[in-house]
A = this chain, B = another copy of it.
Amino acid sequence: MITLTEENYIKAIYYLSSNGEKTVNTNAIASAMQTKASSVTDMIKKLSEKNYADYKKYQGVTLTDDGKRVAVNIIRKHRLWEVFLVEKLNFSWDEVHEVAEHLEHIKSDKLIDELDAFLEFPTYDPHGDPIPDKEGNFKHIEKIVLAKAEVGSTYKCVGVDDTSSNFLKYLDSNHIALGTIITVKHKEPFDNSIKIALENSEIVVSQSVAKNLYLKKI
């Protein structure tokens, strides 16, 4: 049996290692889990004993195939619940995360398979992140970040990096959502801000916004 806490550690390690690095270090996990390094050491020992992680003292940790399977399954559940909350229960995209954090730990294969079917097998969650299928395969989408988009080209908004409530509310108030068509008008070299055209407006967004918005060329 795997505990809720173990699942959350595995998920954290998965996300930390998917950002490039091969092994994940203790302090990074501690800060992601909002806990102390000593607690992390205890937990990664346990995950290692249970064969969810490979770990050598002072050398950081990686997930085993078993550990990755657990992580992807939790991500699948999290994102399916997010789709449910937005499409069926009128949640906005900045409200879903917290509740999905709890729902993702409910253990029932039938529940998640039926939910998947009920939602008609969605492949992306409300933030544009891909939903892995039952076998754990992600649908890859070629996307670039607004900060690296070409002036003069037109794109479709396909996702966000930062899913914090503040950022999502900012996008809402500027009428940017998944699917929104965006044309890049101008890049300001001084502060890397970018002027973009939407359907009925032109706005200037800061570099921090531009780094967190994913686009696909159309």
Chain A residues in the interface with B (C-beta under 8 A): 85, 88-91, 95, 98-99, 102-103, 106-108, 110-111, 114-115, 118
Chain B residues, CB < 8 A from A115: 89
- Shortest CB–CB separation between residue A64 and chain B, in angstroms? 27
This chain's copy number in the assembly:
2
CB < 8 Å neighbour of A118 from B89, B99, B108 = B89
**A155 vs B114: C-alpha distance when bound (angstroms):** 34
Return 18 A-B CB contacts under 8 Å, by A number: A85-B111, A88-B118, A89-B111, A89-B114, A89-B115, A89-B118, A90-B114, A91-B110, A91-B114, A95-B110, A98-B108, A99-B106, A99-B108, A99-B110, A99-B111, A102-B106, A102-B107, A103-B103
Chain B residues, CB < 8 A from A99: 106, 108, 110-111
- Shortest CB–CB separation between residue A108 and chain B, in angstroms? 5
